[in-house]
Amino acid sequence: MSTIEDLPERTLESRLRFTRDMMAGPIYRKYEKALRKTWDPGEWDYSQDRADFEKLTPEQQKGIAMITVRFLAGEQEVTDELLPMIYAAHMLGKFDWVMYLSTFMVEEARHSQFFAIWHDKVIDAVEPDELRPYWIDREKTVDPSGRFSTGEPVYEGLPFYGQQLLDACHAGDIQAIEEGFVRFATLYNVWVEGVLTMPSYEIVIDTCDIWNALPTLRHGFKEIIADEGRHITFGTTACRELIEEHPEYAQIVHDTINLYRGNAVGMLEYQRFVPELNLDKYQLQKVRHYKNRCRELGIDVDQTLIDDILDPSIDFVIGVEAG
């Protein structure tokens, strides 16, 4: 067994990581921008949101909380599951990725903090038993045609593929790390953040506008979505770099999206709770965001996915609600 004394002397190049090219690159620019765009939800006033929430009907209260609780849980999950990306960036020698991902993790933690404070101060609920009445099990959402199912890409997919990526990092297998990174970033940045969640932000912001209520929730969503823009385009920029070197990795993107195809093709439960919302708008947005992500990745779109998203005969219903 080797000891620390057996290690070869480190080269100067392995100790000094900055290069002018790195500092001029798109991912380093995102790091700089993230530092300039920081915000603190602990400094915000939530009293108007509490007063507004108390005036909502029970159906409206449940409708909005059904979304915000999903965000509260989801932000905690992604904060806790980001580590494999940082490890992979380290193993691939991408110091600009490591630097940017340090801001990414802080931002996901801050989003979690915002939702925890909002739920605590506005609806007096922050712990599992208090939030259970608002939780809907996505696994219980069903497609009556039987063609598609919805899953939990955040709660099942990210931990699973994150563990695979960690295993590849531990093994030092560069090809497996690259493939695992593309798979993980596709699920996280491209599909969850970049397509599935984008209409949800707009649904909340539109709902706050229609109700003329919950100004701090609206403000928080606007701040979060600006952070998400950097997260998503970090993922697409990093994957594009790997795909340009290995065009076969493009198939990993399509295969990963297909695992959770059903989550995009139907309208999910909370897209219906405000009758004034134009639901077609949010379906069309999924197509736009999917095409945007493919453009950023430099890969072809899967037209059959677009056709499925736009197929009016595919509609989902809620099965069994938790609690």
Partner 1 sequence: MSKQWACNEHECGVVITAADLDELVAKVNQHFTEAHDSYELEEMIEDAAIDVEDA
Quote the least distance from Cβ 198 to partner 1, whole Å.
Answer: 9
- By CB under 8 A, the count of residues binding partner 1 is 23
**Identified binder of partner 1 from the candidate list 170, 288, 307, 320, rule CB under 8 A:** 288
DSSP string, 122-179: HHS--SHHHHGGG---GGGEE-TTSS-B---IIIIIHHHHHHHHHHHHHHT-HHHHHH
Quote the least distance from Cβ 26 to partner 1, whole Å.
Answer: 7
Contact assessment for residue 49 and residue 214, using Cβ atoms and an 8 Å cutoff:
yes
Q: Which stretch binds partner 1 (CB under 8 A): 67-75, 135-143, 153-161, 286-294?
A: 286-294
> For residue 249, how many other CB atoms are within 10 A of its CB?
22
What is each CA distance from 69 to 127, 221, 279, in whole angstroms?
11, 13, 21
For residues 73 and 287, which CB has a smaller minimum distance to partner 1 in the complex? 287
For residues 76 and 186, which CB has a smaller minimum distance to partner 1 in the complex? 186
Residues 6+ apart with CB under 8 A from 148: 261, 262, 265, 266, 308, 314, 316
Pull the structure tokens for residue 80. Answer: 């806790």
Using DSSP, how many helices (H) and how many strands (E) does the chain show?
16, 2
Quote the least distance from Cβ 252 to partner 1, whole Å.
Answer: 20
**Identified binder of partner 1 from the candidate list 55, 132, 170, 291, rule CB under 8 A:** 291
For residues 176 and 279, which CB has a smaller minimum distance to partner 1 in the complex? 279
279 binds partner 1 (CB under 8 A): no
Taking the C-alpha atoms of residue 262 and residue 76, their distance in angstroms, rounded to an integer, is 24
**Identified binder of partner 1 from the candidate list 66, 176, 279, 287, rule CB under 8 A:** 287
User: Interface residues for partner 1 in 25-44 (CB under 8 A)?
Assistant: 26, 30
Quote the least distance from Cβ 224 to partner 1, whole Å.
Answer: 11
**Helices 198-211 and 279-297: crossing angle, nearest 10°?**
140
**Identified binder of partner 1 from the candidate list 22, 66, 310, 318, rule CB under 8 A:** 310
**Identified binder of partner 1 from the candidate list 48, 149, 164, 292, rule CB under 8 A:** 292
For residues 17 and 281, which CB has a smaller minimum distance to partner 1 in the complex? 281
138 binds partner 1 (CB under 8 A): no
Q: Which stretch binds partner 1 (CB under 8 A): 98-106, 122-130, 136-144, 284-292?
A: 284-292
Q: Which helix (H) or strand (E) holds 1?
A: none
Taking the C-alpha atoms of residue 284 and residue 131, their distance in angstroms, rounded to an integer, is 31
Pull the structure tokens for residue 211. Answer: 């109700």
**Identified binder of partner 1 from the candidate list 54, 295, 315, 320, rule CB under 8 A:** 295
Taking the C-alpha atoms of residue 127 and residue 130, their distance in angstroms, rounded to an integer, is 5
User: Interface residues for partner 1 in 197-236 (CB under 8 A)?
Assistant: 202, 225-226, 228-230, 232-233, 236
Quote the least distance from Cβ 300 to partner 1, whole Å.
Answer: 14
Contact assessment for residue 31 and residue 233, using Cβ atoms and an 8 Å cutoff:
no
186 binds partner 1 (CB under 8 A): no
Q: What angle do CA 80, 154, 59 make, to 5 degrees?
A: 110
**Identified binder of partner 1 from the candidate list 47, 251, 281, 320, rule CB under 8 A:** 281
> For residue 269, how many other CB atoms are within 10 A of its CB?
22
Taking the C-alpha atoms of residue 110 and residue 107, their distance in angstroms, rounded to an integer, is 5
Query: What does the per-residue mask of binding to partner 1 show for 249-278, with x meaning CB under 8 A?
Result: -----------------------------x
The site for partner 1 (CB under 8 A) is made up of: 26, 30, 202, 225-226, 228-230, 232-233, 236-237, 278, 281, 284-285, 287-288, 291-292, 295-296, 310
